[in-house]
Amino acid sequence: MARKKKVEKVELPHAPAVNQPITETIEKNYMPYAMSVIVSRAIPEIDGFKPSHRKLLYTMYKMGLLNGSRTKSANIVGQTMRLNPHGDASIYETMVRLTRGNESLLHPFVDSKGSFGKQYSRDMAYAASRYTEARLDPICAELFDGIDKNAVDLVPNYDNTTTEPTLLPTTFPNVLVTPNMGIAVGMASQICSFNLGEVCDGTIALLKNPKITTDKMLDLIKAPDFAGGAMLIYDREQLKTIYVTGRGSVRLRSRYSYDKENNCIDILQIPYSTSIEVIIKKIVDLIKEGKLKEITDIRDEIGLEGFRLTIDLRRGVDPDALMAKLYKLTTLQDDFSCNFNVLIDSSPRQLGVVDILREWIRFRMNCLSRELTFDLGKKKDKLHLLKALSKILLDIDKAIKIIRETEKEADVIPNLMSGFDIDKVQAEYVAEIKLRHLNHEYLINRVKEIESLRAEIKEIEAILADEIKLKGVIAEQLKAIKKKYAKPRKTQLIFADDIIEAPKTEEIENYNCRIVLTRDGYFKKVTHQSLRGNDEHRLKDGDEIICSEDAQNIDDLFVVTDRCHTYKVKLSMFEPVKASLMGDYLPAKLDFEDGEKPILIKAINDSFKAEHHIIYIFENGKGVRIPVSAYETKSNRKKLTNAYSAASPVVAALYENETCEVLIGSDAGRGILIKSSLIPEKTTRTAGGVTLFTLKKNQKVILAANGERLEKYEGASKCRKIKIPATGNPLTIPDLADMQIGIE
């Protein structure tokens, strides 16, 4: 076996270190990238488009989709890659935003068919390009008008296989009509949309008076107009700043209607800068935090009729006051920041509305001049040819004779040139005339065009020579566009004086707690953290706990007393105490009447539902179930009188969230145990109920209990009854002085 030779490691010399300043590195490596992003990707130009928009629309134009039928979006995306080599996904995303179905633009450029998502929804995704179809919208005729007449420069595409326009010769200020946003390197652009009709009026006014004031422009272009509608809070001074500097913000708020029959608010339009998912999440979070207790449900009801977000309200809630609160706490009211950065001659400039219109007029005048120059050349060329026809009209036979007697084909043109004193181009035109056209009628009709052509040429030359006339043509085009495409404003203007401000409310700290009520009327709110250390409650001698449940500090507290009253107060008004303390004396805290005592407390939260019941048991053996919905009030009342029947003293008030067993005991030491479903339900609060317990003369009911408190009474299970009224069975009552039992 041959031995391997040992390979010696050769140390290569290191390249000498070269000191290079960081500024030089950034200038050579980073600046070209930054300028490419600014100039060729993120910032819109004076035609209102970024390169990606322009390449897509021009491709669709060359595919014949301006007047043709729809084609698959995948086909459009594939063709666009000849101009835009950044991948099909980014091209399709660009197309989606320009479609009618996406509802991002006041005037969509793509007539779409299929699912293209929605601007106002973050989660409503668009379908794949193989499923959707599209063509250009008719308004695109205004984008390409004159593009085939040298109105703009055409440059080679990235692989020199075709050409594309540097700009589109838009016949209206699309830069202000189509919203645009882009983030470049070190700068950004965010242009809001304005109403097409108002922009046309403002541009015409600027064409007539280049020194127009900002105030006058504000009268014509009143404010931004968004595809999503909503309402704009009009602040003239703030808008004036945007119109002059190109920076600032406008405040938008949602539009809504109140459905009285279903007691709900329908949000019909939201600010352009937010989405339905953001709004729903924020409202749900606020409900969980206890800051929006007026709302019972919120749901997305977007359908064929369009956008709708429905908010169900609790009974008695003022919808306008609630919306004022929602405007303050959620993006149902939101700001749209304006930053009008536009590329002018490949240089980014921040311009106000008036300056943008001035730059567009300069751009449009150049496009129109080039277009008219193109037409002028074509008409002069045609006039030049028709002059040759006027000469041969004098002697058609001579022209025919020259052609017939010429032996060689190559000599036809020179012979015609010398025979009629015309140039080579004219001779070529005469030679190509069909034999059927060599009649007096055809030739005379063609010669008649000479005068109309001369008039048209004279008119075009006059327009090109006079800037005022050139502006007049632009103004007439704008008037025609306004008449054909203008739509009423979608965004309604409102003034600050018309706004209802939300009432200022203190932030309530939320935490879990245990609420406790004793028979003698003492109330405690104990935090769960405090209960971990000691859960043994301190009570007065002879007192006991009759109600206890978990709650949150943001809940309301529902209290029933023995004087046919109910109270509703904020649980947060009670200070948390330790279990080892007596707590608050509820009659003093809530200003009860003399001798009035609480018999039931219940936290108002998700477990407190309208379909649940409160069971009242009276001394005369009668009982009744009253639905919780009977205690709902239109106003936020603290005290409600006539909460139940006063025909007989009340013994107990029990909360029923589901069917349970209720024990009723008399002062004769007898009792009955019945299902709560046997107790009749009455919708009238003051209903006296029906007899449950058959009592002998001078006997009365002294206790009622359900839930865990049944364990206190021996022999309760032997008192079970299936019908009412019923006579009692013997029952061991630990303390006959216990005249009031509640629910734990």
Name the helix (H) or strand (E) containing 79.
Answer: helix 73-80
Tokens found for residue 76: 């459009």
pLDDT at 13: 66
DSSP 464-527: HH-HHHHHHHHHHHHHHHHHHH----SSEEEEGGGPPPPPP-PPPP--EEEEEEETTSEEEEEE
Q: Say how far apart CA 538 and CA 536 lie, in whole Å.
A: 7
380-486, CATH topology level: Topoisomerase; domain 3 (1.10.268)
Single out the residue of 495, 644, 502 nearest to residue 565, CA to CA.
Answer: 644
pLDDT at 424: 87
> Do the Cβ atoms of 172 and 196 come closer than 8 Å?
yes
Phi, psi dihedrals of residue 697, rounded to the nearest 5°: -60, 135
In this structure, whether the domain defined by 49-169 belongs to CATH 3.90.199.10 is answered with yes
Q: Say how far apart CA 156 and CA 163 lie, in whole Å.
A: 4
Q: Say how far apart CA 603 and CA 608 lie, in whole Å.
A: 7
The pLDDT tens digits for 380-408 are 998 988 888 788 777 778 888 888 888 88
pLDDT at 620: 92
In this structure, whether the domain defined by 255-331 belongs to CATH 3.30.1360.40 is answered with yes
Report strand pairing: 492-495 vs 231-234. parallel
pLDDT at 184: 79
Q: Say how far apart CA 289 and CA 354 lie, in whole Å.
A: 47
Tokens found for residue 414: 């020179």
Single out the residue of 695, 704, 698, 702 nearest to residue 724, CA to CA.
Answer: 695
> Do the Cβ atoms of 478 and 368 come closer than 8 Å?
no
pLDDT at 507: 67
The pLDDT tens digits for 473-506 are 999 999 999 999 999 999 999 988 777 676 665 6
Q: Say how far apart CA 191 and CA 246 lie, in whole Å.
A: 9
**Would you list the domain boundaries of the chain?**
49-169, 255-331, 380-486, 512-730
Q: Report DSSP state, residue 687.
A: -
Name the helix (H) or strand (E) containing 25.
Answer: helix 22-25
Q: Say how far apart CA 610 and CA 314 lie, in whole Å.
A: 10
Q: Side by side, which strands form the sheet with 729-730?
A: 701-706, 661-666, 670-675, 729-730
Q: Side by side, which strands form the sheet with 492-495?
A: 180-183, 188-191, 333-339, 247-253, 231-234, 492-495
Q: Say how far apart CA 77 and CA 309 lie, in whole Å.
A: 34
In this structure, whether the domain defined by 512-730 belongs to CATH 2.30.30.40 is answered with no
Tokens found for residue 48: 């209102």
Name the helix (H) or strand (E) containing 35.
Answer: helix 31-37
Single out the residue of 702, 711, 709, 742 nearest to residue 518, CA to CA.
Answer: 742
Residue 138: count other Cβ atoms within 10 Å of its Cβ: 12
DSSP 524-573: EEEEHHHHHH--PPP--TT--EEEEEEEETTSEEEEEETTS-EEEEEGGG
Q: Say how far apart CA 189 and CA 101 lie, in whole Å.
A: 25
Residues near 521 by Cβ (< 8 Å), separated by ≥ 6? 585, 586, 587, 597, 598
The pLDDT tens digits for 680-730 are 999 889 998 899 999 988 899 998 988 877 777 777 888 999 999 999 888
Regions in the chain scoring below 50 on pLDDT: 1, 736-744
Phi, psi dihedrals of residue 639, rounded to the nearest 5°: -125, 140
pLDDT at 130: 94
Single out the residue of 684, 647, 679 nearest to residue 663, CA to CA.
Answer: 679
Tokens found for residue 19: 């000191």
Positions marked active-site: 131
> Do the Cβ atoms of 77 and 93 come closer than 8 Å?
no
Helix 396-405 and helix 353-393: axis angle, to 10°?
80
* Beta bridge partners of residue 310, listed in sequence order: 266, 299
* Cis peptide preceding 734, ω within 30 of 0: no
pLDDT at 609: 84
Q: Say how far apart CA 256 and CA 273 lie, in whole Å.
A: 17
